[in-house]
Amino acid sequence: MQFLKNSSSELPRTIEESIRLLKNASVGFCDSWLDGDIDEAKETSVEAFEILDHIQNELLRRRDDLKKENRWSDSQYKVAMGEVVGEIVAIESQQHETNFLQNPVGDASFPDEAIPETLTMEKALNKLKHRVSHGINFNISPAKEHYLYIFTSSGMGQPAAISKIHMKKFCQKCKSASKAFNEDNS
């Protein structure tokens, strides 16, 4: 069981609609999970991951287009992509990876001795793109804050890592990034 997993449903037409649907899916997932309706939570998860992948691909494509056009460095979009959406820790041992991957479903956490760093929107999108499919978990705080945890293997000069994405904040920052991109291109 994991929050958000790929499905084959039809994609929304706009990035803004996708963001709204992802935000609603996160809330619905939390409600279903907390109510003990695991089947509904699974269905929501399946539907939402395709939306998340659409958002991630679109926002990274926009970044790449601005870089290709040499408009990235002074864009509002770059500023928006630098906004914080969570935390990240580098995996320092095989035991850390094993411990994370063995966390019970719905009880994800960083290794006890880990010191988290801030996770920006751009880095979160890249981590989502390169996630390990069996390394996805989540937790829901007592205040119903939804956190998506993803594991990424080392590669491209980066260590293996665990990212913790605050889903409500992620959706807000996605919306801000899309707005910034539109302003940069108006």
> In this predicted model, what pLDDT tens digit does every residue of 78-132 receive, in sequence order?
999 999 999 999 998 898 899 999 999 999 999 988 899 999 999 999 999 999 9
Mean pLDDT, rounded, for 59-80: 96
Is 170 within the bounds of a domain? yes
Q: Across the chain, what does the average pLDDT equal? A: 91
What DSSP character marks residue 3? Answer: S
In a domain, 114, yes or no: yes
Judge whether 167 lies within some domain: yes
* 8, part of any domain: no
| pLDDT score of 113 | 84
The span from the CA of 51 to the CA of 62, in Å, is: 17
How much helix, strand and coil, in percent to the nearest 5, is found in the chain? Answer: 50, 15, 35
Per-residue pLDDT at 2 exceeds 90 = no
pTM of the prediction?
Answer: 0.90
Instruction: Tell whether 72 is covered by a domain.
Output: yes
Question: What pLDDT does residue 10 have?
Answer: 55
What was the pLDDT predicted at 121? 97
Within-domain flag for 4? no
Is residue 38 domain-resident?
A: yes
CA atoms 65, 67, 70, 76: torsion sign? positive
Residues 6+ apart with CB under 8 A from 143: none
Question: Would the pLDDT of 1 be above 70?
Answer: no
Domain of residue 179: give its range. Answer: 15-184
Number of structural domains the chain divides into: 1
Judge whether residue 59 has pLDDT over 60: yes
Answer yes or no: are the C-beta atoms of 177 and 84 closer than 8 Å. no
Identify whether 9 is part of a domain. Answer: no
CA atoms within 13 A on the CB side of 84: 6
Over the stretch 19-37, which tens digit does the pLDDT of each residue have?
Answer: 999 999 999 999 999 999 9
pLDDT higher for 158 or 134?
Answer: 134
CB 119 within 8 A of CB 163: yes
